[in-house]
Structure 1
Amino acid sequence: MRGMWAETLSALAAAGGTAVVQAAGTEAWGSVSQGVARMFRGRPADGGEEGTQRELERTALVLASGDAEGSGRQASLWEQRFTALLHDADAGVRQQAEAELRQVIALVSGVADRGQVLNVHDNTYDKSPQQYGNHNHQQIHFGPEA
């Protein structure tokens, strides 16, 4: 996977990391954490469903502490995990993970509202992506205005 398709998956992974961080401590957390844990079922190298659930619990503890740097590290951690999952060599696994991650993102208001820009058509972008953020907030825009 190269070019724009890989960038699209990277943007989706970043939105997933943001969704996990923003969901912690909210009503969406239960659904988000269950959805994320299910994404890693059958992937023992990634900790499987149970290992992922433990990582999510650690994430919730870090975020409950109010540590802004910890929040940024957690978003980055989950972005990396989602990126690895979405870049799986098996197209079927990748497509299922992409669909499941979109469902998780849709559970988090704010992130879900921006999720519509992550749609891909015929493996190309509708517009050029631009990504920026700080420790606990990330925005991904498609188009010339940033």
Structure 2
Amino acid sequence: MSENPFVPHDFVAPTRLAADGFRLEPLGPQHNDADHAAWTSSIEHIRATPGFLERSWPPPAGMSLADNLRDLESHAHDFQARTGFTYTVLDDAGRVIGCVYIYPSHADAGVTEVRSWVCADRAELDGPLHRAVAAWLASDWPFEKLRYRSRVAGRGVRRRSHAVWTEGIECYALSGTREGASRVLTESLTVLAAAGGSAVATAAGTDAWAGLRRRVAALFGRGDQRATETAMERLDRAATELENAPESQGAEVRTRMDTVWRTRFEDLLESMDEPERAEGAEQLRELVQMVQRVAGQDSDARKTVITGAGAMVGEHVDIHADQGSFAAGAANISGSVTLGATPPRPGT
């Protein structure tokens, strides 16, 4: 028996969660055909869902029904062994429309990672599912720290085959009554990461790109040549995708680029210890300011950077508004600024 079990020995894992329009039950081999049909019909949508942007699953090319069965058997084994808990999401008609994964973090001891997805044709249930699961985890489960990507629908984006999201990293330190929550990544840094994502999307295809590419790669590399080259390759792929996109799809490609790089900046800042995070945040501020300076009097470009910074909205954020910076353009003041309205808390 493990000295550090994922859940207490006397904890009985729930086998059902019922909500308006859907219910959860443990995922098993009996769901294979329906589960396979659900996710293979929605690969692009799932890969754009918060929590899945940087993961290898679902594979873009799909997988065989036999391979999927092995995955489900593995999840069922984890559930029985109490090392991880996976639930299928069924609609009121009993159709599989999604999945919820509850597993210990490989990167952060003591943190439970939670991910969820729904089919593209039931995208409207992603938010309700997130809220229901967040509340359920707080009330019925024994975890002290949770990380579950928040959902904030992207503003001004026309949805086609998949939803476009901006992401927040939510990590809660839960106490006995589970009242209140504290974020590992502060609101100011979440806003700064959003500005960074918008800066990448804004600079692509402009005179600001070369300078931004160099600074972003250095930020992610942190002195490691291989990591620096990986970041450059990712930036180059993003720029090439935008360059090759039809004019009618340019805005959609930039929105996706914004979301992906925002998430990468959030993950990067969250992975740093406090001294390194302060230095990384300053470097990110500088590259955002650099893009703002190059954008100059281009009001559309400036609006793009500022809108990205306010995508998470809310609270007082400690971003210095130096002359010419995106914060100065937004507020014309130094010190603490407020961008937008107060965001809803997950589970409400």
Structure 2: gaps of 5 or more residues = 1-170, 172-181, 293-301, 306-323, 342-348
Aligned to 1:52: 231
- Contact residue 21 and residue 63 of structure 1 kept, 8 A: no
Counterpart check, 1:97 vs 2:277: no
The worse-fitting range, judged by mean Cα deviation, of 48-57 and 112-121 is 112-121
- The Cα shift of 1:127 comes to 4.5
Q: Counterpart in 1 of 2:242?
A: 63
**Cα pair distance change 1:26/1:127, threshold 3 Å:** closer
Alpha-carbon separation, structure 1, partners of 2:220 and 2:196: 14
The yes-or-no answer on 1:20 pairing with 2:200 is: yes
**2:288, 2:325 within 8 Å by CA — same for their partners in 1?**
no
Higher Cα radius of gyration? 2
Structure-2 separation of matches of 1:77 and 1:58: 12
**What TM-score, normalized to structure 2?**
0.32
Structure (1 or 2) with the greater helix fraction? 1
Contact 2:289/2:326 (CA < 8 Å) preserved in 1?
no
Moved over 3 A (4+): 116-121
Matching of residue 114 in structure 1 with residue 326 in structure 2: yes
Give the corresponding residue for 1:8: 188
Q: Deviations over 1:114-145 (max 9, x none)?
A: 23469996xxxx354327xxxxxxxxxxxxxx
Answering whether residue 245 of structure 2 is matched by residue 37 of structure 1, we say no
Q: Deviations over 1:85-136 (max 9, x none)?
A: 1223401211111011011101112236423469996xxxx354327xxxxx
Whole-Å separation in 2 of the counterparts to 1:84 and 1:120: 27
**Is 2:308 the partner of 1:129?**
no
Render the CA deviation track for 1:31-68: whole Å, top value 9, x for unaligned: 00100000011487xx7110000000011112222432
Taking only the aligned residue pairs, the percentage that are identical comes to 31
Equivalenced residues, count: 125
Structure 1 segments unaligned to the other structure (5+ residues): 132-146
Mapped to 1, the partners of 2:227 and 2:207 lie a distance apart of: 24
State whether residues 105 and 115 of structure 1, in contact with CA within 8 Å, keep that contact through their aligned partners in structure 2: no
Mapped contact 2:238–2:257 kept (Cα < 8 A)? yes
**Which amino acid in structure 2 is aligned with residue 96 of structure 1?**
E
Contact 2:195 2:288 in 1 (8 A): yes
